[in-house]
Chain A
Amino acid sequence: MNTLTLPSPTAFRTSVTDESVLDEAGHAESTLQVTAGTKIRAEDVNAWFGKAHVLKDISLDIAERRATALIGPSGCGKSTFIRCLNRLHEVVPGARYKGRILLDGEDIYHRALDPVLLRRRVGMVFQRPNPFPTLSIRDNVLAGWKLAGQRPKDPDGLVERSLRQAALWDEVKDVLNRSGSSLSGGQQQRLCIARALALEPEVLLMDEPCSALDPIATAKVEELIHELKERYTIVIVTHSMQQAARVSDFTAFLYLGELVEFNTTEAIFTRPANQRTEDYITGRFG
């Protein structure tokens, strides 16, 4: 693993070429010794829905085995950005994309790269729990394999491992054959996390994973994120600044499709460099 301080002046490029931001980033580098490689590098990512330009020249590096949070008011493009990371953006009719996204140095939008294979490496958890209603809990966990016509080596072991990692095993181990939709909302969301983990991805994208959950279920999922980032690179979109502060190592603030500021979570929340970031996190708008 190469050692790179994130965000470093070289890796840190935003559409905002504000001197103070860069200075502040350099400052963060010297005070916070963070060791992590770059898992995903986004370069000048632009995205459109029809004529609406929803992402404007976003460049940022996502650190390996760390949690990176994307915050910002509704419609700022944070969900669109993570949907570019697993190429789910392009399945929406009228959606367009421009820019470069490198996963381990490899361009994920290269013609030769099958998005289907990419999505097995970059898993995703959605805003609303979406277990497959016709499948049992067990089959939901195995869905990524079974529906692809494949059989994992040790399905029972994989089911248990994935559910344990998603902190759901103890609650469902006796009812694995029940329908996935028989679970509570929080359990369903953890089932969806288990389903994504069963493919053993490298990156886990989470699009407001707690917005449909109650506070207790939210706490469980947040705790889970803490454990998961030991093994996976996590990118989480969240509406809640508190949540970003609790679970992430790095935070990017997006506003109207632009990356306003990207830094360690601590720096963003204690000494934001940009006035708009400060206004947002102090609740003056958004």
Chain B
Amino acid sequence: MDGYLRRKTFDILARWGSLAMVLVALVPLIAVLGYLVMKGAGGLSWAFFTQLPKPVGEVGGGMANALTGSAILVGLACLIGLPVGILGGIYLAEFGDNAFGKVVRFCADVMSGVPSIAVGIFVYGLVVLSMRRFSALAGAIALAILMQPIVMRTTEELLRLVPMTLREAGLALGLPKWRVILGVVLRTGASGIATGIMLAIARVAGETAPLLFTAFGSRFISLKLDQPMGSLPVQIYTYAVSPYEDWHRQAWAAALVLVGLVLALNLLARVLTRQPGQGR
């Protein structure tokens, strides 16, 4: 075989080989989405979004409790986790070029790899046991702990992408450093940071393990933060392992809603990353 044929053969093998693997990778993705739509779409109805769960045996009812619960839990987690994450990221990007910064960065990377159930147990021990009850607050803290390292590292990385020349331009205009950070650096990195936040939210919105023994779950719409609160993932878990056919149907529908939500957040993140259009 001469050199040309050998190169050509290798090229074709490598190219088609990698295409084949891409298709294999796509199979579970499409299968999950397709299966969810197939099983879940039937359970979706107006009542699913607006009604509370009916007692066992009664057909119908919805997941309004879990939907509002998830919204509150994730919202509260954002309130706790975002300021810590964003400010921490600013510190690392602007002042973190030292040994301490390295340690924090390493810890954050380890933290984002910690299994979520471990975080759940930690918060159970720290918050639930000392409050002597499951609570929305405990759930939100668990989610915030999961969110924070992701937000911190994305914020840092995006701020580092902002060119040094822009910081110098700001300083040369007689802006104090904090104004340069807020008005120039943060603003330039804002769309990227927003994307990171969306992805972090998407990640924690689907977490079940850390909520099982923190927020626990509730069959009612509750706004009390010191009381147990329902959430989509926990409700899916509870319904899926139950023996009732109707609950299974609802679990599928809830799973579909959850995936739709994550998809929507990802799409939103994409839109946000798009550079501000010319002529705006």
State the A residues within 8 Å of B (CB).
86, 88, 91, 93, 116-120, 123-124, 126, 128, 130, 132-134, 136, 143-144, 146-149, 175, 177-179, 182, 192, 195-196, 199
Contacts and interface: CB of A to CB of B under 8 A. Distances in A.
A196 B180 CA distance: 15
Interface in B60-117: 97
B27 interface: no
A144 B179 CA distance: 10
B173 to A, nearest CB: 4
A118 B97 CA distance: 27
B227 interface: no
A148 B175 contact: yes
Interface in B155-192: 163, 165-166, 168-176, 179-180, 183-184, 187-188, 190
A116 B188 contact: no
Most buried by A among B163, B175, B179, B278: B175
Interface residues of B, number: 24
A133 B188 contact: yes
B279 interface: yes
B280 interface: yes
A144 B184 CA distance: 11
The 5 closest A-B pairs by CB, nearest first: A120-B174, A147-B183, A144-B173, A124-B172, A119-B174
B169 A147 contact: no
A116 B174 contact: yes
Contacts of A120: 173-174
Given A178-B278, A179-B280, A134 B190 contact: yes
Given A88-B171, A123-B173, A199-B174, 8 more contacts: A91-B171, A120-B174, A130-B163, A134-B276, A144-B173, A146-B183, A147-B173, A179-B279
Contacts of B280: 136, 177-179
Most buried by B among A86, A91, A117, A120: A91
A132 B278 contact: no
Contacts of A128: 165
Contacts of A134: 187-188, 190, 276
A164 to B, nearest CB: 19
A91 to B, nearest CB: 6
Given A130-B165, A132-B166, A134-B190, A182 B171 contact: no
Contacts of B171: 88, 91, 119
Given A91-B168, A178-B279, A179-B278, A132 B184 contact: yes
Contacts of B172: 86, 88, 119, 123-124, 126, 196
Given A147-B179, A147-B183, A130 B174 contact: no
Contact of A144 (B163, B175, B276, B279): B175
Given A93-B97, A182-B278, A199 B173 contact: yes
Given A178-B279, A182-B278, A149 B168 contact: no
Contacts of B169: 126, 130, 132, 192, 195
A183 to B, nearest CB: 10
A130 B169 CA distance: 7
A199 B171 CA distance: 13
Contact of B179 (A133, A149, A182, A199): A149
A136 B97 CA distance: 32
A279 B169 CA distance: 35
Nearest to B163: A130
B209 to A, nearest CB: 39
A132 B188 contact: yes
A132 B162 CA distance: 10
14 contacts: A119-B173, A120-B173, A124-B172, A126-B165, A126-B172, A130-B163, A132-B169, A132-B188, A133-B166, A147-B175, A148-B179, A149-B179, A177-B280, A195-B169
A89 to B, nearest CB: 11
